[in-house]
Chain A
Amino acid sequence: MSERTDLLLSFADDELVLGWRNSEWTGIAPFLEEDVAFSSIAQNEIGHARALYDLAAAELGTTADELAFDRAPDEYRCAALVQLRRLEWARTIARHWLYETADEIRLAALKESDDPEIAGIAAKMDREEAYHRMHAGMWVDRLLASEEGRRRLNEAVDDLWPYALGVLADEFRPELRRRAEERFDRDLPDVEAVPRGVHEAELAELWKEMTMVRRSAPAGAQW
């Protein structure tokens, strides 16, 4: 597998799995606006996954659906951060902000890629992701504004920090640290990143749910 395909699959798996995790708030978010917001963000992320899988599929001679749903759980390359099951609200917001910030750093680099397909799709995704970043930033402001919110958010950021570092390649991690320390106005722990390729038990459970319909349908079913 080429380095290009590896990169596309890693990125697509992040967006697909996080899209599923975000959709877990559909119907049960704290209030209606957030129900709509997380559902819409989920839809965007899964749309991004599909576009990235399409590029990888063209190279591998397969289809986006096969890449998304026909691999075994241990073949997914997503970061451990997105695998964690629906988290309580402050942790959801911490993950949201950490992922979107890491994603902004990754997209900025991909927009400069020599590969016109990758640069083009990264630029298009970035336009949509701007809304995710505004949404995450708005919630961080809101939680930091109260003592309880600040305590919960800070605890969540500390717990998720090794996972957040694992979203990015080594070279980009100092930039994520710089932005996070500036945003939360404190030093973050010096820890080892949870590397990409580590599979949390929660991923296998998610995979069962995510692929259930496809596995139960007769081979070659058209939707």
Chain B
Amino acid sequence: MVTTEDVWAALAEVPDPEIPDISLVDLGVIKSVSVDGERVRVEFTPTFLGCPALEHMQLEMTAAIERAGGQPQIDVVLDDSWSTDRITPEGREKLRLAGFAPPAPRPVGKLELVQLQHGFSCPYCGSKDTRLDNLFGPTPCRSIRYCESCRQPFEQFKTI
């Protein structure tokens, strides 16, 4: 019989399709898991609404739960309960090791451009002498930064 722990363990093995170094659990997009006999219900909160990987994530979750012996039902929750603050501490460290600067914590008030411009650590050399090069990057969830110290461009997960 599949247990809630089995399901969380199975989902922890499902990589993010675009940043495979981190799992969907690390990304914080699994809002809840409930198990009733063989039936498994997962509440899934998308990252960005325009993310082309959302359907792929659902297919991968379905397959992982079936491998664990459950009958999955994935419910997509379209409210704002996901933010980048939901990325786990382990997920943030994995992002950094993969060459992505983790997102800045959400400010209490309104997010302003000036808060994003300076002061983030380069994931390669650790220098804080970095600047925002482009708010937008290769996917909806990333910005482009440049390290003035090691002269390396790098990507940062946007704070949303």
Report A's interface with B, CB cutoff 8 A: 33, 36-37, 39-41, 43-48, 50-51, 54-55, 116-117, 119-121, 123-128, 130-131, 134-135, 137-138
Contacts and interface: CB of A to CB of B under 8 A. Distances in A.
Given A48-B49, A50-B49, A138-B113, A128 B78 contact: no
A44 B137 contact: no
B78 A135 contact: no
B111 A41 contact: no
Interface of B: 48-52, 77-80, 82-83, 110-113, 116, 133-140, 144, 158, 160
Among A33, A126, A138: residue with most chain B CB under 10 A: A33
B136 A47 contact: no
B80 A47 contact: no
Given A36-B136, A51-B78, A124 B49 contact: yes
B133 A131 contact: no
B53 to A, nearest CB: 11
B160 A127 contact: yes
A44 B48 contact: yes
Given A33-B134, A36-B138, A124 B79 contact: yes
A51 B78 CA distance: 8
Contacts of B113: 134, 137-138
The majority secondary structure among interface residues of chain A is helix
A44 B78 contact: no
Given A47-B51, A125-B49, A127-B80, 18 more contacts: A33-B133, A33-B136, A36-B134, A37-B135, A40-B137, A41-B136, A45-B50, A47-B140, A50-B49, A50-B50, A55-B78, A120-B78, A124-B82, A126-B80, A128-B48, A128-B49, A131-B135, A134-B111
Given A36-B138, A117-B78, A123-B79, A48 B133 contact: no
B70 to A, nearest CB: 26
A120 B134 CA distance: 28
Contacts of B135: 37, 131, 134-135, 138
A127 B83 contact: yes
B87 to A, nearest CB: 14
B133 A120 contact: no
A121 B136 contact: no
Contacts of B80: 120, 123-124, 126-127
Contacts of A120: 77-80
Contacts of A41: 136
Contacts of B138: 36
Nearest to A119: B79
Most chain A beta-carbon contacts within 10 A, residue among B50, B51, B110, B138: B50
30 contacts: A33-B133, A33-B136, A36-B134, A36-B137, A40-B136, A41-B136, A43-B50, A44-B50, A46-B50, A47-B49, A47-B51, A48-B49, A50-B50, A54-B78, A55-B78, A117-B78, A119-B79, A121-B79, A123-B80, A124-B78, A124-B80, A124-B82, A128-B50, A128-B160, A130-B160, A131-B135, A131-B136, A131-B158, A131-B160, A134-B116
A39 B160 CA distance: 19
A134 B130 CA distance: 19
A55 B79 CA distance: 12
Contacts of B134: 33, 36-37
Given A36-B136, A40-B136, A138-B113, A47 B50 contact: yes
